[in-house]
Chain A
Amino acid sequence: MAKYVLIETRDPFESSDVAFYHDLARRLAAEGNQVTLYLVQNGVLPARPGARTAGLEELVQAGVEVLADDFSLRERGISAGRLQAGIKPSPLDVVIDGLAEGCKVIWH
């Protein structure tokens, strides 16, 4: 099985296509792949407590690791210490780590 890093720059408030990407993440994980969904730019907006998450919590339950770029969080005044359950703050280095490890890294 493969490792995927799915970079999500879009947010569900502006783009209905986020649902496709979440669905892809879920399907890849269900097939036994190791999947990380990396939220960056406005993609971190659903990570704020109380925000509509568009199913991120289901992804976490499905075994997808959901990370949020710490700079994007700070830029938007979202406290890294208080995110929606299951979402972890992370430096952008994780994407370069994924590339270096040979993960399939896909930008959305």
Chain B
Amino acid sequence: MKALNIIESAYRATIEEQDDTIVWLTHAMKGAGADLGVLLRGNAVNYAALGQDAAGLAFGGWRQTQPPRLADDITALVAKGVAVYAVAEDLAERGLGPGDILNGVERVGRDSLPKLLAGYDQVWHW
């Protein structure tokens, strides 16, 4: 069974969780042998952006030592063999050109989405 995780929700509780919980879930399922792809859409295309830095938050005397490193997590998914796509129009709308995003993230146009979805047995929209 192949499943496509469509990730739309972006930066939702990522500081508290110290991860994006769906990127994390994808890693965990991949580790358990799942055959997965990821489609970043909407604001979540920003997870492919270069230069993200959430480090340095402190609350009173408590300092966050493990901030989320979302770009690294996306790169790690690609390295594990998970196909990671990002909707091209959503990138463009957010001012993200080809030189602004991680290597290994494949841009797909909205017109290609039916074909992309057809390649998976399950499509899960997060």
Could you tell me which A residues sit within 8 Å of B by CB distance?
2, 17, 20, 23-24, 27-28, 30-31, 33, 104, 106-108
Q: Is the CB of B42 within 8 A of A104?
A: no
Q: Is the CB of B114 within 8 A of A33?
A: yes
Binds A, one of B12-20, B66-74, B76-84, B117-125: B117-125
Q: Which chain A residues border B114 with CB–CB below 8 Å?
A: 24, 27-28, 30-31, 33
Asked whether A104 and B123 contact (CB < 8 A) given A20-B41, A28-B117, the answer is yes
Contact with A along B3-42 (1 / 0, CB 8 A): 0001010000000000000000000000000000000011
The closest CB in chain B to the CB of A33 belongs to B114
Q: Is the CB of A17 within 8 A of B42?
A: yes
Q: List 5 A-B pairs, minimum CB-CB distance, nearest first.
A: A31-B114, A106-B125, A28-B114, A27-B114, A104-B123
Q: List 14 A-B contacts (CB under 8 A).
A: A2-B118, A17-B8, A20-B42, A20-B110, A23-B110, A24-B110, A27-B111, A27-B113, A28-B117, A104-B122, A104-B123, A106-B6, A107-B125, A108-B125
